[in-house]
Amino acid sequence: MEHNHQDSIHRLKTVEGHIRGIQKMLAEDKYCIDVIRQIQAVQSALNKISSQILDGHLRTCVLDAINGDDSDERKRVLNEITEVFETANKI
């Protein structure tokens, strides 16, 4: 169940740079709507990263659990997916 997260790591570093830019915008008292737009861009980027990681998880860990013989593991993995979506809907 090895994952290649290089693209996600690269995207997170980009997000990190954007967050520093937002901090600078606030420190320089930039126009509020411009700041909000940058925050929305960061949120969108984080959502994309989350989707990539979830896709990888579904294609590896979840498939392994579904194809495996351990019914408890299948239930555990499926419950995790449900919990992730429930948590996302609360935000």
Position 22 pLDDT exceeds 60: yes
Per the prediction, the chain carries an average pLDDT of: 93
The 8-class DSSP code of residue 62 comes to I
Residue 83 lies in a domain: yes
Number of domains in the chain: 1
Position 2 pLDDT exceeds 80: no
Domain span at residue 36 reads 6-90
Which CATH number characterizes residue 27's domain? 1.20.58.1000
What global pTM score does this model have? 0.83
- Close Cβ partners of 26 (under 8 Å, ≥ 6 residues apart): 35
The 8-class DSSP code of residue 59 comes to I
Burial 62-75 (b: 16+ CB within 10 A, else e): beebeeeeeeeebe
Residue 1 lies in a domain: no
